[in-house]
Amino acid sequence: MRFHALSVAEVRSETSDTVSVAFEVPDQLRNQYRFVQGQHLTLRRTFSGTEIRRSYSICSSVDEGELRIAVKAIPQGKFSEFVHKRLAVGEKIEVGSPIGHFNVPLDPVDLNVTPPLQQVVASRP
């Protein structure tokens, strides 16, 4: 996995215990950070001489042109505490390229929902 230092474009509170973080992806890295739904990013940072990596699901749409993750606060979690309390716009953080194979085609035709839908309709009284 290749890591690049990406700048933080936005840190936004989503709920009382979750923030989302958007990254600025330079034009020369756009292809490396293209993603499909269901993929995640691995972030890495060194805390007190120890490298820590954490993976977070990408929560932006593939059509938005944005790279954004959501981070839930974890009690005593070094990485989540850093993101929630200290990560700021403009700061650079090491971000791995998107990985993961748990995705579902977005084309409804590919989802093949007709047979299960027929079963639901048939089971109604």
Per the prediction, the chain carries an average pLDDT of 88
Domain region containing 72:
3-123
Q: Distance of alpha carbon 48 from its chain centroid, rounded?
A: 25
Instruction: Note the pLDDT tens digit of each residue in 37-53.
Output: 889 999 999 999 999 99
pLDDT over 90 (residue 104): no
Distance CA 113, CA 85 (A): 43
* pLDDT band per the 50, 70, 90 thresholds, residue 124: low
Is 93 or 125 the better-scoring residue by pLDDT? Answer: 93
Q: Cβ–Cβ contacts within 10 Å for residue 43, how many?
A: 24
Q: What is the CATH number of the domain that holds 104?
A: 2.40.30.10
Give me the sheet containing 40-47, strands edge to edge.
50-57, 40-47, 92-96, 3-15, 18-24, 67-72
pLDDT over 90 (residue 5): yes
Phi, psi of 4 (to 5 degrees): -135, 150
Q: What is the mean pLDDT of residues 9-26?
A: 97
As for how many domains the chain has, the answer is 1
Residue 58 has a pLDDT of 95
Q: What is the mean pLDDT of residues 49-73?
A: 94
Q: What is the mean pLDDT of residues 68-97?
A: 96
Asked if 2 contacts 96 with a C-beta cutoff of 8 angstroms, the reply is yes
* pLDDT band per the 50, 70, 90 thresholds, residue 122: low
Q: Please calculate the CA angle 17-22-27 and round it to the nearest 5 degrees.
A: 170
- Residues ≥6 apart with Cβ < 8 Å to 61: 37
Q: What is the mean pLDDT of residues 88-114?
A: 78
